[in-house]
Amino acid sequence: MPTLPLVVNGRDFSLEVDPQTSLLTVLRDHLDLTGSKYGCGEGVCGACTVLIDGKAQRSCITRVGSVWPKTITTIEGLTSGEQLHPVQQAFLDESAMQCAYCTSGMIMSAVSLLNANHNPTERQIIDFMDGNVCRCGTYPRIVSAIQRAAKVMAGSPVAREASR
């Protein structure tokens, strides 16, 4: 088995793993980073979403051997110390979750969107997020959370409580 380099959440790893293995399996089973979830195994539900060089990718259909030297960020790498990323905080503030199994994938997709577009319209949010499934149906709250996070990241004031 070849040794593969991998950069995850700012840490360098060297793994003995078949390069054909899915990135999701490596994250969950080898590195015990279980915040990224299995949902469909074919890249259509978004539960496994991670950032690769800052862009949202489905880790369940990404071969681990194809990633290096690009860097990976998972939900576990989003916080700095105790400080939540504004998107994480916005999901809490808007109660944008029920069972929350989709939440880490939603947050990673939203971060990717806001990295590329600091002030997305509602239509742009919906288009970008359409590959992420929330089976509990919290979509309207997730849209609100992303709008809230965009404002926070731009330094605009936001009401503490949801406006609903």
Partner 1 sequence: MNEKPQAAIVLDPERYELSAEPLYHFDVDRREFFKLLGAGVLVYSALNRAVTQESGGAGHSWGDSLPKEIDTWLHMGENGRVIVYTGKVEVGQNIRTSLSQAVAEELHIAIDKIEMVMGDTQLTPFDMGTFGSRTTPTMNLQLRKVAAAARDLLVGLAAAQWQADRTRLVAADGRVGDPQTKRSVEYAALVKGQQLAASIPFDDPLVSATDWKIAGQSVHKVNGRDFVTGKHRYPSDLKLPDMLHGKVLRPPSFGAALLSLDTQKAEQMGVTVVHDGNFVGVAAPSTPLAERALKSLHAEWKSERQPSHDELFQYLKKNPENGNDPTGDGDRFAVGNVDQALTSTDHKLQQTYSVSYIAHVPLEPRAALAKWEGDNLTVWTGTQRPFGVRGQLAEAFRMPEERVRVLMPDTGSGYGGKHTGETAIEAARLARAAKRPVKVVWTREEEFSWAYFRPAGVIDVTSAVHRDGTLTAWDFHNYNSGSAGIRTYYEIPNQRIVFHPTKSPLRQGSYRALAATANHFARESHMDEVAHSLKMDPLEFRLKNLKNERLRAVFEAAAKRFGWEKPKSEPEQGFGMGGGYEKLGNIATFVEVHADLKTGEVKVVRVVSAFECGAIVNPDNLRNQIEGSNVQGLGGALFEAIAFDNGKILNGRMSEYRVPRFSDTPVIETVLLDRKDLSSAGAGECPMIGLAPAIANAIFDATGVRLRSLPLIPNGLKAS
Interface with partner 1 by CB under 8 A: which residues? Answer: 18, 21, 25, 28-29, 32-42, 44-45, 47, 74-76, 78-79, 84, 88-89, 91-93, 95, 97-104, 107, 125-127, 129-130, 132-143, 161-162, 164
Output 67 or 107, the one with its CB closest to partner 1. Answer: 107
Q: State in angstroms the smallest separation of the CB of 102 from partner 1.
A: 5
Name all contacts of 154-158 with Cβ < 8 Å and 24+ positions apart.
154/118, 154/119
Q: State in angstroms the smallest separation of the CB of 20 from partner 1.
A: 9
Output 10 or 137, the one with its CB closest to partner 1. Answer: 137
If you search the block for the tokens 């793994």, which residue do you land on? 15
Q: State in angstroms the smallest separation of the CB of 158 from partner 1.
A: 16
Beta strands 55-58 and 49-52: pairing type? antiparallel
Beta strands 55-58 and 71-73: pairing type? unpaired
DSSP per-residue codes, 73-136: E-GGGSSBTTBPPHHHHHHHHTT--SS-TTHHHHHHHHHHHHHH-SS--HHHHHHHHTT---TT
Output 69 or 150, the one with its CB closest to partner 1. Answer: 150
* AA identity, residue 38: Y
The secondary structure element, H or E, covering residue 52 is strand 49-52
Instruction: Quickly count: other Cβ atoms within 10 Å of residue 40's Cβ.
Output: 14
Q: State in angstroms the smallest separation of the CB of 156 from partner 1.
A: 21
Output 4 or 133, the one with its CB closest to partner 1. Answer: 133
Q: State in angstroms the smallest separation of the CB of 51 from partner 1.
A: 13
Output 47 or 150, the one with its CB closest to partner 1. Answer: 47
